[in-house]
Amino acid sequence: MKNIQRYIEQTVLKPTAVDLDIERLVSEAKQYHFLGICVPPFWVKKAKREIGDEAIQLVTVVGFPLGYNTTETKIFETEQAIKNGADEIDVVWSITAFKSGMNWPKIELAKVSSLCHAQERILKVIIETSYLSDAEILQACEICVDAGVDYVKTSTGFAPEGAKLRHIELMREYLPSTVGIKASGGIKNLSQAVELIKAGADRIGTSSGVEICKELGGI
């Protein structure tokens, strides 16, 4: 895992984030060669300016953190995020509609997916695994595949639990190779990150990327 930094999306999504946090985030991404950074929508423009010409993916969130916004709101958020410079969108799906047995989550995700792909952007869907049974996780993955998303992501980091090894294994067993997995929520050290990657995670969303790289040494 000598190239673990290329799996990491270094993240600042705390409600008290200030401009200096965003500047530090970008500086760390440049220093440690992280694949990307994830910032609140409010800070996308600034992050884009700070990144400049560096090969760092700029990720932001939509419908965050609860996902029960209307589809029209999520579409508008996505459009604004792309306009402001986001390369990737992490959208929280409608857990409330899913739990109600509606077909709406697939319709909503297909709309967001279509918008992202028309603008050559990547779409990741946060299904919030801590609120789902194993059967529901598989059903959520099926919906995401049918909607044409690029990645399925475990968590917002605001739920009671984050990424779990068994959930990554379950998701990887079901999802086709064309759909990636982003593990996020509570990933604080190197052993956790390596374990999740070996289980099938393609991306690691964490606010502890620097600490993880320092543990590895030589980076």
Catalytic hit among 74, 106, 153, 164: 153
Query: For residue 16, what are the β-bridge partners?
Result: none
One-letter amino acid identity for 171? M
Is the link from the previous residue into 41 a cis peptide, with omega within 30 of 0? no
Residue with tokens 């759909």: 179
Spatial CA neighbour of 124 closest among 91, 98, 155: 91
Whether residue 42 contacts residue 18, with contact meaning beta carbons closer than 8 Å, is answered with: no
* Distance of alpha carbon 166 from alpha carbon 157, whole angstroms: 17
Catalytic hit among 90, 124, 150, 164: 90
Q: For residue 182, indicate whether it is catalytic.
A: yes
* Distance of alpha carbon 55 from alpha carbon 37, whole angstroms: 11
Catalytic hit among 106, 124, 164, 182: 182
DSSP state of 10: E
Residue with tokens 């401009």: 19
Residues taking part in catalysis: 90, 153, 182
